[in-house]
């Protein structure tokens, strides 16, 4: 019996040992570095700020999401607004709607130097988010391409 237990322990230790050799940078010099030209957008920025307020109501909130969200006067949502730590869907939709409506009001492509004032109220069956955005209107006037440069110490 002792020989059987000893053989089982030896087999368990032998099967449980795994050796993994990795070489993460060995073929780095074989692949050339890909460098692409960079495109920079040119904007014309206004000196008068624009302000817009949006309000949304979420029905039956559960953690981050609502069963559905109502309210808001914007006709569409902006896609370049990140949540900046706000996980609740009502707040993100209100921020996005306020940003889009402010751009429509000013007739611009984007806002620069945006500030958000967020007021959030949570109740058991609904929540309310009121967002006021303030920023400077910016219109896209063109794109400038700059050639890529690759630093090479060998001067080839």
- pLDDT value of position 102: 92
Q: Of 60 and 63, which is predicted with more confidence?
A: 60
The pLDDT score that the predictor gives to residue 126 is 84
Tell me the whole-structure pTM to 2 decimals.
Answer: 0.65
Query: pLDDT tens digit string along 65-115?
Result: 677 777 777 776 776 666 565 667 788 888 888 988 999 999 998 898 888
Mean pLDDT, residues 33-56: 85
The CATH code that applies to domain 44-145 is 3.30.110
Rounded to whole angstroms, what are the CA distances from 147 to 35, 41, 143?
9, 14, 13
Provide the residue ranges of all domains of the chain, joining segments of one domain with +. 44-145
């Amino acid at each position: 019996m002792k020989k059987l237990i000893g053989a089982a322990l030896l087999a368990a230790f032998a099967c449980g040992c795994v050796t993994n050799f990795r070489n993460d940078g060995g073929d780095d010099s074989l692949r050339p570095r890909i460098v692409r030209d960079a495109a920079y957008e040119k904007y014309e920025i206004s000196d008068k700020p624009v302000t817009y307020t949006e309000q949304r109501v979420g029905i039956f909130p559960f953690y981050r999401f609502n069963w559905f969200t109502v309210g808001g006067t914007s006709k569409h949502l902006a896609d370049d607004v990140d949540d900046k730590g706000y996980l609740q869907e009502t707040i993100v939709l209100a921020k996005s709607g306020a940003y889009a409506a402010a751009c429509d009001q000013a007739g611009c492509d984007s806002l620069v130097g945006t500030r958000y004032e967020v007021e959030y109220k949570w109740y058991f069956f609904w929540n309310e988010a009121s967002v006021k955005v303030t920023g400077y209107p910016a219109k896209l006037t063109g794109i400038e391409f700059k050639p890529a440069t690759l630093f090479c110490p060998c001067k080839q």
